[in-house]
Amino acid sequence: MELGIYLQDISLTIPLMVLFVLSLLPVTVKIFSGNVEQKPLFTFLQAAFAVILTGVLIVLRNTTEVVYAFNNTIVFSPYIKLTTIILVLSTLFTLFLGYRSPSIPKNQYSEHVFLLLSALLGMLVLNYSNDLLITFIGIELLSLPLYVLVGLSGNSVVPKEASFKYFVLGSFASAFLLFGIAFIFGATQTTEITKILSASDQVDKNLLTIGIMAFLVGMFFKVALVPFHSWLPDVYQGSPTPMTAFMATTVKLVIFVFLLGFVDVIRLMDMNVALYTLQWVAILTMFLGNMVALKQSSLKRMLAYSSISHSGYLFVGLISAVLGTGEFSYQGILFYLLTYMFTIMGLFALMCVYEKKEGEDLNLDTLKGLAKDHPWLALAMSIFLLSLAGIPPTGGFFAKVFLFSSAIQVEQYWLVIWGMMSSAIAVYYYLKPVVYMYMKDKESSEIFVKNESVSTLSIVYLSVIMVLVLGVFSQPFLTRILKTLI
Amino acid sequence: MLELSNITLGHFILLSCVLFTIGMVGVLVRRNVIVILMSIELMLNAVNLAFVAFSRHHNLADGQVIVFFVMAIAAAEAAIGLAIAISVFRKFNGVEIRLFENLKG
Amino acid sequence: MFLTGLIFLPIVFAAVVLLLPQSKVRVGSLLMAIVHFVYSLCLFQMFDKTTAALQLVEKHEWISFFGINYFVGIDGISFWLVLMTTFFAPIVILGSWHSIEKKEKTFHFALFLLQTFMLGTFLSIDSIMFYIFFEASLLPMYLMIGVWGGTRRIYAAMKFFIYTMAGSLLMLVAILALIFMTAEQLGAPSASMIDFYKLQIPFVAGEVLNPQTLMFLAFFIAFAIKVPMFPVHTWLPDAHVEAPTPGSVILAAIMLKMGTYGFMRFVIPLFPEATNYYGWFVMLLGVVGIVYGALVAMVQPDIKKLVAYSSVSHMGYVVLGLFALNIYGTTGALYQMLNHGVSTGALFLLVGIIYERTHTREIKSYGGLAAAMPIYTILFLIVTMSSIAVPGTNGFVGEFYILMGGFLKNKALGSIAALGVILGAAYMLWMVKKVFFGPEGEYVKGAKEGTYNEALKDVSLRETIVLAPLIILIFWMGIFPNHFLSWSQSSLDHLVKTQLDYELPIAQKAEQE
| Residues of C with Cβ-Cβ distance to A331 under 8 angstroms | 65
Chain centre distance of CA C85 = 9
| Residues of C with Cβ-Cβ distance to A405 under 8 angstroms | 66, 176, 179-180
Higher pLDDT, C127 or C369: C127
Contacting subunits of B (3+ beta carbon pairs below 8 A): A
Between the CA of residue C321 and those of A416, A469, C289, C401, C407, what are the distances in Å?
Answer: 34, 43, 13, 8, 10
Which ranges of C187-210 would DSSP assign to H, the alpha helix?
193-197
Chain centre distance of CA A6 = 33
Question: Ramachandran region of residue A270, left (φ > 0), alpha (ψ -120 to 50) or beta?
Answer: beta
Q: In CATH, what number does B9-94 get?
A: 1.10.287.3510
Q: How far apart are CA A196 and CA B19, in angstroms?
A: 27
Classify the complex by whether its ipTM is higher than 0.95, answering yes or no. Answer: no
Interface test with A, best of C63, C128, C219 (most A CBs within 10 A): C63
Residue of chain C nearest A328, judged by CA positions: C65
Residue of chain A nearest B16, judged by CA positions: A179
DSSP codes joined into one string, A437-460: IIIS--SS-PPPP----HHHHHHH
Cβ-contact C507, C490 below 8 angstroms: no
User: Is C37's Cβ below 8 Å from some Cβ in A?
Assistant: no
The shortest C-alpha distance from B93 to chain A (Å) reads: 14
Pairs from C424-430 (Cβ < 8 Å, separation ≥ 24): C424/C290, C424/C294, C424/C310, C424/C313, C424/C387, C424/C388, C424/C389, C425/C388, C426/C294, C426/C298, C427/C294, C427/C297, C427/C298, C427/C306, C427/C310, C428/C310, C428/C384, C428/C387, C428/C388, C429/C384, C429/C388, C430/C298
Q: A residues 273-332 near B, CB within 8 Å?
A: 301
Q: How far apart are CA C245 and CA C242, in angstroms?
A: 9
- Interface contact flag, C146 A393, Cβ < 8 Å: no
User: Is C65's Cβ below 8 Å from some Cβ in A?
Assistant: yes
Residue of chain A nearest B83, judged by CA positions: A148
User: Is C177's Cβ below 8 Å from some Cβ in A?
Assistant: yes
Break chain C down into helix, strand, coil percent, rounded to 5. 75, 5, 20
The shortest C-alpha distance from C403 to chain A (Å) reads: 37
Please list, in sequence order, all residues whose beta carbon lies within 8 angstroms of the beta carbon of residue A2, skipping any fewer than 6 positions away.
Answer: none
Q: Let me know if C204 is exposed, middle or buried by CB neighbors in 10 A (0-12, 13-18, 19+).
A: middle
The shortest C-alpha distance from B4 to chain A (Å) reads: 20
The two most distant CA atoms of chain A are separated, in Å, by: 74
Residue C65 has its nearest CB partner, among A408, A438, A475, at A475
Between the CA of residue C357 and those of C98, C153, C451, C459, what are the distances in Å?
Answer: 11, 21, 14, 10
* Helix, strand, or coil (residue A416): helix
Length of chain C: 513
**pLDDT tens, residue by residue, B10-28:** 888 999 999 999 999 998 8
Residue of chain A nearest B13, judged by CA positions: A183
The kind and range of the H/E element at A320 are helix A299-323
Tens digit of pLDDT at every position of chain A (486 positions): 456 667 777 888 888 889 999 988 888 888 888 777 777 888 888 888 888 888 888 888 877 778 787 778 888 888 888 889 889 999 998 888 888 777 788 888 888 899 999 999 999 999 999 889 999 999 999 999 999 999 887 777 788 888 888 999 999 999 999 999 999 888 888 888 877 777 766 677 788 888 888 999 999 998 888 888 888 888 888 888 888 889 988 998 899 989 988 888 887 776 777 788 888 889 899 888 888 888 888 888 888 899 999 999 999 988 888 887 767 788 888 889 989 999 998 888 888 877 765 556 677 777 777 777 777 888 888 889 999 988 887 888 888 888 888 888 887 788 888 888 888 888 888 888 888 887 777 666 556 666 667 777 888 888 888 888 888 787 788 777 877 776
Chains C and B touch (3+ CB pairs under 8 A): no
Pairs from A88-92 (Cβ < 8 Å, separation ≥ 24): A88/A51, A88/A54, A88/A55, A88/A58, A88/A120, A89/A55, A90/A246, A90/A249, A90/A250, A90/A253, A90/A341, A90/A345, A91/A51, A91/A116, A91/A117, A91/A119, A91/A120, A91/A123, A91/A246, A91/A250, A92/A48, A92/A51, A92/A52, A92/A55
Residue of chain C nearest A476, judged by CA positions: C63
Cβ-contact C237, C285 below 8 angstroms: no
Contacting subunits of A (3+ beta carbon pairs below 8 A): B, C
| Residues of C with Cβ-Cβ distance to A398 under 8 angstroms | 63
CB pairs under 8 A between A and C: 79
**C-alpha Rg value of chain A to the nearest Å:** 22
Domains of chain B: which residue ranges? Answer: 9-94
Secondary structure, 3-state, A399-411 = HHHHHHHHHHHCC
Q: B residues 16-55 near A, CB within 8 Å?
A: 16, 20, 23-24, 27, 33, 36, 40, 43-44, 46-47, 50-51, 53-55
